[in-house]
Structure 1
Amino acid sequence: MSNDSGMNAEDIGTGAAAGAGGAVGAGGRLGGASSLLSRLPGRQGFGDASLVTAGEGAIDLSGGNPDTSLLPAELHREAARDYFEGAGYASTLGYVPAPGIASLRATLAEREGVDLERIIVTNGGAHGLALAVLGTLDPGDTIVVDDPVYPLFLRTLDLLTGVTIESVGVEADGFDVDELEAKLARGLRPKAVFTVPTFHNPSGAVLSLEKSRHLTELAEKYGFIVFADDPYQELAFPGVEVPEHTWVRDSEHVMGIHTFAKTLGPALRLGWLVVPTHLSGQYVKMRNRIEGQTSGVLQELAQRIITRPEFAQVTRAAGAAYAQKARTLTNALHRELPGQLEIIEPQGGFFLWARFREQDADFARLYDAAQDEGLVYQRGEWFGVGEPARTSGCLRLTFAAPSVTDLEEGAVRLGRAWKRVTG
């Protein structure tokens, strides 16, 4: 999912607001609040600002922000001039269709290889996931998620009560479809399966074509929907061949959830959802009851940017720059923590996933010691949802937004923290 900013203010102050804002009524419900509003938990672990104690000068390797210097700012400016100075500008300032403006939807439909009616433009990837969850799951349903999982997707599930979460591991070639098949054979009947197929967050794995086809076959056989959350697919490193998954195109049991956050910038809040054809009208009805539309102005700008040939050049250049940063961080970690880490070398995307070989260390203490040294990262345990062994002693570090200097220094600080904890 695309809203992965690490430390932010989304849930900061939840407890204080509850304490100062109103009494708790029967059943633990806040006075004047719905059961949904009352039961939404604050962040725990991943993104929980209350756990962050590092002060000024700290290096933050925790978030999923792009390097803004690698975004197509000049294309933004050119698109804005073309749009705002165009003769027809004023005529586009009214309400726009709920599924999105026709030109952008047509471009996205061509990119995805699907019919136009399957495309719904969204307010970013998180909005797309929320629509997918609300349009697929009911209280009491079961969803299977990859483990480690992107934790903010689990928070999307807080919109519903009584959803059961099952987990399946992630291997070097992505979601463990064989493990899922074994669970299905034992009677598991999920309504949906969630995975990040390309440069998986957090592990960096890329789902193989064989697995995507197998997973699609299982979805069609057992009647579940696959949520394919794919924000990083355009950010491959040079020389890396990303499998050309056609599962969204080939099967209406696969929903694609996408965002422009990593390639155009998170501030635009633009993404798109590929829904089953027979449900597209119902999805439009649902979003009309929530927020109605995505900004037509931003859609017009995005359409002008992504149809320029220079856009693909910018994303390739960004992939090359991220590759250099990933190498810098990987090499620095090997240098500062020789022999201590098993590192999955990134092939694209924003993240490096590593596991300490010494599993008896106090990793909660290490996290605190790193902050004392001026380093913030994400503990692997915060991505776990099933077997603890899958995430024990792991950590996720971003190499995307930080400078090369900060990546080098971040590894130094982690090395110092490790020595403090292990003595």
Structure 2
Amino acid sequence: MTVVGASLAGLYAARELRAQGFDGRLVIVGEETHRPYDRPPLSKDFLTGKADEDQLALSDVDETLELGAEWMFGVRARGLDARGRTVLLEDGRTVSTDGVVIATGASARRLPGPALMGVHTLRTLDDARSLRAELLSGPRRVVVIGGGFIGAETASSCAGLGHSVTVVEAAPLPLLPQLGPEMAAVCAGLHHRGGVELVTGVGVAALRGDVAVNGVELVDGRVLPADVVVVGIGAVPNTGWLAGSTLALHDGVLCDDGCVTALPQVVAVGDVARVGGARAEHWTSATAQPRVAVRNLLAGRTVETVRPLPYFWSDQYGSRIQFAGRRRDGDLVRVVEGAVEDGSFLALYERDGVTTAALAIDRPRPFTRVRRELTRGDARPAVPVAAEPVVAGVAEPVAQGFAEPMAL
């Protein structure tokens, strides 16, 4: 068996292969030179210097030996034969195999234009090393492009290090698609609380500078001075190496609900996998999918499906944000514990009187309880608490719920 991708999802797939009884040759191919490491701390403790590289490791030497795998680091896959039985590597080698787990993840989306010093993405350990070196060398004017989770966490870390930080988000509010307008406004307030300037509703026209970046030009003509720019505008699944194979590709590797591709001897997991019509770039997907994918791979067909409850968390400005469930536009949002103005609360999203999702800021215990109920599929009736619409981080009770969601 061959696992292509040596990060979180790939490591979990290798573990599952051994745990489910596969005792044959196991090859793990990794584009990076590093052994599997945890990515979430890259934008937090590692970036601020509170954690070193040893603390990022996902496995120790003992486990590596126990897996009995052949690790191929620093080499990229360049192709998969039509039957999915041979993986072609960029250095000219080939790996013959009975089955393949595709776990190649995604790469940071970049802005068009020439490469300038001081412009960073934050996806890999090497990215984080480079950015950390700049941030720890002295005060900087930092512009973060993109107000999603990576952008927000990076901005929080930069502000914590004492840098002057501006976040530019093209949407009317950061995290609008994930959280909806009411709770996105609350998260926007976290930036202000952390002393970070938030610029929304405007895109980036160009980066300024000859050799090194010195400014970010917005489409409305404004120019933000910058010594460091962090581009956090999403990620692109790493499927280029599969061009020419018989696999269906569309914003990821298309799979059924069991992570099985058009070839039963090939499965996909993690950020690169589009499972059942959706691609989820979350830690929980990368750890939950491999068990089912490997079972189906060893069976030679789909015998089990996976549809884990979406869950993500983010640490920003000293607060932990947790979200679980499936929110849709039009869902009612109610704060049922705590208060927005206190910075600690639990909010439930409701549709037709049933809880569909939950968001918490610094309320881990009640959030865990609700998440457990959502995972079990419990139909939880709506809590009879008056909805509290949030505008710019300030709760204002009204009689008739929330305003319509803002358009993207």
- For normalisation by structure 1, the TM-score amounts to 0.30
Bigger RCO of structures 1 and 2 (CA < 8 A, at least 6 apart): 1
Structure with more of its chain in strand, by fraction: 2
- For normalisation by structure 2, the TM-score amounts to 0.30
Structure with more of its chain in helix, by fraction: 1
